[in-house]
Amino acid sequence: KRLAYVPDFPFLYDKLTPWEFLRFTGQLFHMNEQDIETRTRDLIPRFSLEPYLRKSIESLSHGTRQRIAIVSALMHNPEVFVLDEPMVGLDPHHQYILKEVLKERAAQGMTVFLSTHQLSVAEEVADRIGIVHMGKLVAVGTEEELHNLGGEGNAELEATFLALTREESDVAVQRQLHQG
């Protein structure tokens, strides 16, 4: 009940409709019908799911399926929300909506862990950023702390990422050259 997870390619029951899937998910979290209705009342229209609620999930696009997974994860108000590449398949409008929802939920006390290769998304929504490179956590901090650590001042996060990971990449290339 305390955790929700949305992978980059979420598993949904293809033979169900989105509404059946949301009800099923709510029931897994011991939510009654009224709670399910109440908690999805805001999320369904925000993620533009109304036209799809009675269609088979298997007939829906990847982006629509992603939005269903996000709504199903948020409806039980988890304390911790983990998302892996959540923007995959989302159009710019729904990317914006998701970023707004994540900021709102974080402001309400939800902890959000977001894994993304889109550094602009991290810049927009994160108050702390961890940089992982070649399977290692290279740096953690606020955007400003990372810029200072990378010696990039007020640069874009991309420049900071490259500065912080350049040395690690150079070492890995040297290792490969010596082993080859």
Say what percent of the chain tops pLDDT 70.
91
Task: Evaluate whether 94 touches 136 at the Cβ level (below 8 Å).
Answer: no
Q: How many CB atoms lie within 10 A of CB 127?
A: 9
> Cα torsion for 117, 122, 125, 130, to the nearest 10°?
110
Q: 5-14, 26-35, 116-125, 152-161: lowest mean pLDDT where?
A: 152-161
Taking only the tens place, the pLDDT of each residue in 140-180 is 999 888 888 877 666 788 888 888 888 655 554 444 445 55
Got the DSSP string for 76-132? T--SEEEEESTTTT--HHHHHHHHHHHHHHHHTT-EEEEE-S-HHHHHHH-SSEEEE
Looking at the domain that runs over 1-126, which CATH code has it been given? 3.40.50.300
Length of the chain, in residues: 180
Please tell me the pTM assigned to this model. Answer: 0.84
pLDDT of residue 12: 96
Helix %, strand %, coil % for the chain, to 5? 55, 15, 30
**Average pLDDT of the chain?**
89
Cβ(137)–Cβ(154) under 8 Å?
no
Domain ranges of the chain: 1-126, 128-180
